[in-house]
Amino acid sequence: MNTKEYIQNLRDELREHNYNYYVLDNPTISDFDFDSKLKELQDLEAKHPEFYDANSPSLRVGGEVTKNFNTVVHEHRMYSLDNSYSLEDLQDWEARIKKMVDGPIQYTCELKYDGASISLTYENGSLLRAVTRGDGMQGDEVTANIKTIKSVPLQLKGSYPAKFDIRGEIVLPFEGFNKMNEERIDIGEEPYRNPRNTASGSLKLQDSAEVAKRPLECLLYNITGDNLGIATQMESLEKARQMGFKVPEAAKLANSIDQVLAFVNYWDTERHNLPYETDGVVVKVNDLQQQEELGYTAKAPRWAMAYKFKAEQVSTRLNSISYQVGRTGAITPVANLEPVELAGTTVKRASLHNSDQIEKLDVRVGDEVFVEKGGEIIPKIIAVDFTKRPSDSQPTQYITHCPECNTPLERLEGEAKHFCPNYTGCKPQIVGRIQHYISRKAMDIEGLGGETVALLVSAGLITNYADLYTLTKEQVMPLERMAEKSAENLVNGIAASKQIPFERVLFALGIRYVGETVAKKLAKHYKSIDAIAKASQEELVNVDEIGIKIAESVLAFFASEENIHTIEKLRSFGVQLEVSAEKLANQTNKLENQIFVVSGVFETVSRTELKKLIEDNGGKVSSSISAKTSFIVAGDKMGPSKKAKAEKLGVPLITEQEFLQKVL
């Protein structure tokens, strides 16, 4: 067996194991063995770039960065669905369609998963592109991000049409969502609001490696295209399963609206045992020929109807309103409720979001309030039962001072929340900033968790993150649940963080609006903390992706004497406050203000290495061709559509060797 055949066999084997694990939920190999085979494939592909495959299992880890998501027109429009909320609505719908088609009508009943709609296009069995629903006519291409989702097949199984679209929902299972929120709470960040919005937001993250870290799944329900050889919706679901897609098993065939309603009633209760968020049932005419006859209105197919579950609501008493302080000083009002059962859990608290929401609902302590689980996860107060309001009720007066340090609150123009400005003396802010500093994506300090940070602050051992580097084993050992070994690990973990590169240190500082991506941009542009501190607002705004809001926040951070003092302490302890000399040695400005698109298979260096060379020499890498593109680095097997677009826009194509001559 030659190398090419061996690589292909390894890819096929990994695809099968991936299908067994993520689609069938029936793994036939250990995680260790899978990882070993994947590492072997990655090594072989690195040595043999001539056998590059855009849909190789090795590429699911992400790494491609998309700055601007291409707008793509859907070849087949993605319609929305009409909604119904009662048996009468369904019966009226049935009466309408029976007037339009002859013969008996069967219905498929499918659960309506609440996620982000997606359209996947396959050509010759390979994933060609993935596009969000958008406005139904056109959406954003998010192929790089979708490829990281393990339940999306990159190469199909069995037989399949030459080209087709398949539609579905990108969902975030409750278990994964809760785990993500636990991690955010641990580092002092606000938890995500609900799985649906988090799944939707994931699709537009610029770094596909970040998407790969999220436990997203793709549930498919509709095949669209020409000459598919499929007669019914139920047949299409089974065909999709055979091709390797994850298709929910709950779908059922019904011969009457009464049977549809039985399906609805069953799942209205049973849905709480599902691992995903659901908000109703989609009922479709099963026969595709009948669907074609029924056609579409301006907005929706006549052959389908979404029956929406009523959101579970309960009423309970609002006992009090408390106020929480986040690490940025933002104040969040929280309703403390008389405990009540809702959607299988006991609800004691609900978010009131901000003062505007309290005023809008006219919520008062002592009120009987209606509580609903928004997205089935976070309880929210949706209304007040004014008929039960006590006669001596008084309007809620939003607090004017911080509940932790009694500092007068501020509310900036355009901001929804109030803030405590006591940056250096408000304990929740101090603890929150340090928890952010030690978090996995920042300094990743091993042996130190959020609870321990709170204990260290309470014990007076630290007042900011720079103080961490003064801690000794003897100081931390007396803390609760701290043995000698764990104390030693904590101190060693803090010492090891001095090697964390500058871009992550910059993120760890907790400058408002400076997330991971912005920190990387600033670090790359300015190279050191001192250069950023000296930059003007005009200079900052000229940096790629830095707006006025971020620039103002950076200026405010470095205007604080306390922050400057903390940075000087970090410097004295050896924390990395500039880009390393080794990294600088490999960087130039040869390609400054030039935008490159990399396409095809390359011989001398890999695509990843090419992109790194572009960025290390001051250029920008784009995933899509536009009039702003400076050059396309064209390798073997470059797509004909990209070549045609380049010619149309007059963008020059250069070979791999011509590019290397520019930078080497």
Q: Say which range, 45-54, 73-82, 159-168, 411-420, has the weakest mean pLDDT.
A: 45-54
227-277 pLDDT, tens digit each: 788 989 999 999 999 999 999 999 999 999 999 999 998 998 888 888 888
The listed range with the strongest mean pLDDT (54-63, 180-189, 426-435, 617-626) is: 426-435
CA dihedral 419, 423, 426, 431 (to 10 degrees): 110
> Do both 105 and 202 map to the same domain?
yes
User: In the structure, what pLDDT confidence band is assigned to residue 607 with cuts at 50, 70 and 90?
Assistant: low
User: In the structure, what pLDDT confidence band is assigned to residue 67 with cuts at 50, 70 and 90?
Assistant: low
- The pLDDT of residue 111 is 94
User: In the structure, what pLDDT confidence band is assigned to residue 150 with cuts at 50, 70 and 90?
Assistant: confident
**Mean pLDDT confidence for 124-149:** 88
User: In the structure, what pLDDT confidence band is assigned to residue 343 with cuts at 50, 70 and 90?
Assistant: low
Pick the last residue of a domain from 584, 612, 634.
Answer: 584
Contacts of range 147-150, beta carbons closer than 8 Å, 24 or more positions apart: 147/55, 147/59, 147/60, 147/62, 147/208, 148/60, 148/61, 148/62, 148/208, 148/209, 148/211, 148/212, 148/216, 149/211, 149/216, 149/217, 149/218, 150/18, 150/21, 150/22, 150/60, 150/217
- The pLDDT of residue 435 is 93
**Mean pLDDT confidence for 365-390:** 81
Active-site positions? Answer: 112
The listed range with the strongest mean pLDDT (73-77, 248-252, 326-330, 640-644) is: 248-252
Pick the last residue of a domain from 532, 561, 584.
Answer: 584
Pick the last residue of a domain from 388, 404, 438.
Answer: 388
User: In the structure, what pLDDT confidence band is assigned to residue 375 with cuts at 50, 70 and 90?
Assistant: very low
- The pLDDT of residue 586 is 67
Q: Say which range, 117-131, 339-353, 393-407, 450-464, has the weakest mean pLDDT.
A: 339-353
- The pLDDT of residue 64 is 63
The listed range with the strongest mean pLDDT (111-115, 188-192, 462-466) is: 462-466
What CATH number is given to the structural domain containing 642? Answer: 3.40.50.10190
- The pLDDT of residue 12 is 78
User: In the structure, what pLDDT confidence band is assigned to residue 31 with cuts at 50, 70 and 90?
Assistant: low
- Which of 453, 425, 455 lies closest to 439, judged by CA? 453
> Do both 232 and 185 map to the same domain?
yes
- The pLDDT of residue 122 is 95
> Do both 134 and 194 map to the same domain?
yes
189 strand-pairing partners: none
- The pLDDT of residue 464 is 93
- Which of 287, 373, 376 lies closest to 337, judged by CA? 373
> Do both 604 and 616 map to the same domain?
yes
Residue 234 parent element (H or E): helix 233-243
Would you say residue 616 has pLDDT above 70? Answer: yes
Q: Check residues 373 and 238 and name the one with the higher pLDDT.
A: 238
* Token pair for 564: 């400057």
In a domain? residue 360: yes
Q: Say which range, 194-208, 281-295, 319-333, has the weakest mean pLDDT.
A: 194-208
% the chain with pLDDT above 70: 92
> Do both 45 and 100 map to the same domain?
no
Q: Say which range, 70-84, 366-380, 440-454, 588-602, has the weakest mean pLDDT.
A: 366-380
**Mean pLDDT confidence for 426-451:** 89
* Token pair for 207: 């770094």
Would you say residue 53 has pLDDT above 90? Answer: no
Contact present, 521 and 495 (Cβ < 8 Å): no
- The pLDDT of residue 585 is 61
Please tell me the total number of residues recorded for the chain in this structure: 664
> Do both 264 and 324 map to the same domain?
no
User: In the structure, what pLDDT confidence band is assigned to residue 376 with cuts at 50, 70 and 90?
Assistant: very low
Rounded CA gap, 440 and 291, in Å? 51
121 strand-pairing partners: 129, 165
**Mean pLDDT confidence for 18-47:** 71
In a domain? residue 172: yes
What CATH number is given to the structural domain containing 365? Answer: 2.40.50.140
Contact present, 506 and 519 (Cβ < 8 Å): yes
> Do both 231 and 331 map to the same domain?
no
% the chain with pLDDT above 90: 37
Domain that holds residue 200: 71-308
> Do both 250 and 117 map to the same domain?
yes
- The pLDDT of residue 123 is 92
- The pLDDT of residue 240 is 94
Q: Check residues 412 and 323 and name the one with the higher pLDDT.
A: 323
In a domain? residue 418: no
- The pLDDT of residue 299 is 75
Would you say residue 225 has pLDDT above 60? Answer: yes
> Do both 257 and 119 map to the same domain?
yes
User: In the structure, what pLDDT confidence band is assigned to residue 601 with cuts at 50, 70 and 90?
Assistant: low
> Do both 254 and 283 map to the same domain?
yes
**Mean pLDDT confidence for 567-593:** 84
502-535 pLDDT, tens digit each: 999 999 999 988 988 789 889 988 989 999 999 9
Q: Check residues 2 and 541 and name the one with the higher pLDDT.
A: 541
In a domain? residue 601: yes
In a domain? residue 303: yes
What CATH number is given to the structural domain containing 572? Answer: 1.10.150.20
Would you say residue 429 has pLDDT above 90? Answer: yes
- The pLDDT of residue 271 is 87
- The pLDDT of residue 378 is 67
- The pLDDT of residue 570 is 96
The number of folded domains in the chain is 6
**Mean pLDDT confidence for 70-86:** 84
- The pLDDT of residue 205 is 83
In a domain? residue 174: yes
- The pLDDT of residue 623 is 60
- The pLDDT of residue 501 is 92
Contact present, 318 and 333 (Cβ < 8 Å): no
The strand order across the sheet containing 620-622 reads: 620-622, 595-599, 631-634, 653-654
333 strand-pairing partners: 323
**Mean pLDDT confidence for 85-106:** 84
What CATH number is given to the structural domain containing 203? Answer: 3.30.470.30
Q: Which residues of 148-172 are buried (b: 16+ CB within 10 A; e: fewer)?
A: bbbbbbbbbbeebbebbbbbbbbbb
> Do both 379 and 487 map to the same domain?
no
User: In the structure, what pLDDT confidence band is assigned to residue 374 with cuts at 50, 70 and 90?
Assistant: low
The listed range with the strongest mean pLDDT (6-15, 39-48, 89-98, 577-586) is: 89-98
> Do both 102 and 175 map to the same domain?
yes
Query: Mean pLDDT in the chain?
Result: 85
Would you say residue 542 has pLDDT above 70? Answer: yes
In a domain? residue 325: yes
In a domain? residue 100: yes
- The pLDDT of residue 462 is 94
